[in-house]
Amino acid sequence: MEAAWRASQLGAQVVLFSSESVLPYFRPKVVALAFGQVELDSIYLRPESWYREHGIDLRLNSEVVHLDARAKAVTVGGREERLGAPNATRRVWEPFDALVVATGAAPALLAFAQQFPEDVIPLWGVRESLAIRDRLGRTRHLLILGGGISGVESALYAHETGLDVTVVEKMDRLMPQQLGAGAARVLARRLQKAGVNVLTGRYAVAVSKHRGQLHVALDDVGEQTCDLILTTVGATKRLKLFEQAGLKTDRGIVVDEQQQTSVPGIFACGDIALRDGVRITTVVRAHEQGRGAGDNAVAFIQGRRLAYVPEPVSPLFFKHKDTEIQSVGLPAGDGLAEKVLTNDGEAVYRSVLLENSDSSTSPGGILRGIQMIGSHEGFRQLVDFLGKPWQEAVS
């Protein structure tokens, strides 16, 4: 969206293909959508009229099925739907002068998800969220496989709707990409106190169904019984289309600091892009990458020099009633020492991660990560000192 808007602002003729049937939406809100916290039209990034007003030719239900990088054209298959135009089932060949790939990622699917597609639903997009929402009235016990931020958020919303909720996380702690062991323990206690059952270090090995009930076998020979399974176990990148077109890939489409791929004139941004080895992006980084990709796509067409696209610091922030989570940077790792600022063992945990340093210019180490549960005291101030000596932050 940001790439299309920016390119349109710079005078380019923009066609925006989407394989989905609804207007582009704010993806982080799909969890709230699934549990009735928001309505679909409230998460649209822009109203339908906005695209016409800004000269963006938005085509829904239009999946790009082939990319010819040499001929500079894409082929779109399926049912093409232009705003204000009748639907048509056909293949469309669309040439381009520059291309921005922003296809994101797809949900990682567990083996038994295909066996019970109506009962094991990956929480990912609008379609899946609405399917979950449709099942809530017939669900008493919800099992969530995956204890990342989406799993934690889902657990809180689901419990609020009156469901019995169990979260199963394969790693030894919740939100392992954002939290160290100490912060994760406090978060788990908060969830359990709220009425959510939390199982860490466990994973599902099989699912069966008997008389309408799902029976989930765990690796420790334990079993969970539920009415619905929601999965948030990670993402995968669909790269075949781009590999066949000759783009360099490595767990994503490899891009440089201008968001340009290995093929001049083709850019990538968001989750599909791999820049400096970073596989996972955030809303803030995706926004900046999209804007930069749109800028540079037009610059390429006009023969101008491509510009560096900044990578902003992007903290995670989540708040639901009395549960608050904030983190940024590294949660743990070799060469990092955790300095606990506050820990009452139950509700509040504040800590920083410091990179060990023997240099007299950085006593105490370099600040590499911040994590807080149940508090945001000093968080914004500390973010400004990421990558700097800890002594500067406390002086």
Report pLDDT digits (tens) over 89-140: 567 899 999 999 999 999 988 888 888 989 999 999 999 999 999 999 999 9
Residue tagged 């066609």 (tokens):
15
CA–CA distance from 118 to each of 31, 209, 226 (Å)?
18, 12, 13
What pLDDT sits at residue 299?
98
What pLDDT sits at residue 83?
58
Residue 341: CA atoms inside 13 Å, Cβ hemisphere, count? 22
CA–CA distance from 101 to each of 177, 194, 374 (Å)?
26, 42, 38
What pLDDT sits at residue 278?
75
Q: Is the pLDDT of residue 79 over 60?
A: no
Q: Is the pLDDT of residue 353 over 60?
A: yes
Average pLDDT estimate for 346-355: 94
322 vs 324, more confident: 324
Average pLDDT estimate for 269-284: 86
The token pair at 287 is 């926004």
Residue 175 DSSP label: S
What pLDDT sits at residue 90?
64
All domains of the chain in start order, with CATH: 2-105+237-302 (3.50.50.60), 107-235 (3.50.50.60), 316-394 (3.30.390.30)
Q: Is the pLDDT of residue 88 over 70?
A: no
Average pLDDT estimate for 268-281: 87
Residue 28 DSSP label: G
Percent of all residues in the chain with a pLDDT value above 90, rounded to a whole number:
81
What pLDDT sits at residue 295?
98
The token pair at 90 is 């056909």
160 dihedral zone (left: phi>0; alpha: psi -120 to 50; beta): alpha
Average pLDDT estimate for 285-307: 97
Residue tagged 């791929």 (tokens):
261
Q: Is the pLDDT of residue 358 over 70?
A: no
181-218 confidence digits (pLDDT tens): 999 999 999 999 999 999 999 999 999 999 889 999 99
Q: Rounded distance, CA 159 to CA 135, Å?
A: 15
Residue 269 DSSP label: -
What pLDDT sits at residue 84?
56
User: With bands split at pLDDT 50, 70 and 90, how would you rate the model's confidence at 238?
Assistant: very high
Size (the chain), residues? 395
**Residues 136, 38 contacting (CB under 8 angstroms):** no
User: With bands split at pLDDT 50, 70 and 90, how would you rate the model's confidence at 277?
Assistant: confident
What pLDDT sits at residue 376?
93
Residue 142's φ and ψ, nearest 5 degrees, are -110, 130
Q: Is the pLDDT of residue 357 over 70?
A: no
2-27 confidence digits (pLDDT tens): 999 999 999 999 999 999 999 999 99
What pLDDT sits at residue 312?
87
Instruction: Name the pTM for this structure.
Output: 0.91
Average pLDDT estimate for 147-169: 96
User: With bands split at pLDDT 50, 70 and 90, how would you rate the model's confidence at 81?
Assistant: low
244-261 confidence digits (pLDDT tens): 999 999 999 999 999 999
User: With bands split at pLDDT 50, 70 and 90, how would you rate the model's confidence at 322?
Assistant: confident
Q: How high does pLDDT run on average in the chain?
A: 92
Q: Is the pLDDT of residue 80 over 60?
A: no
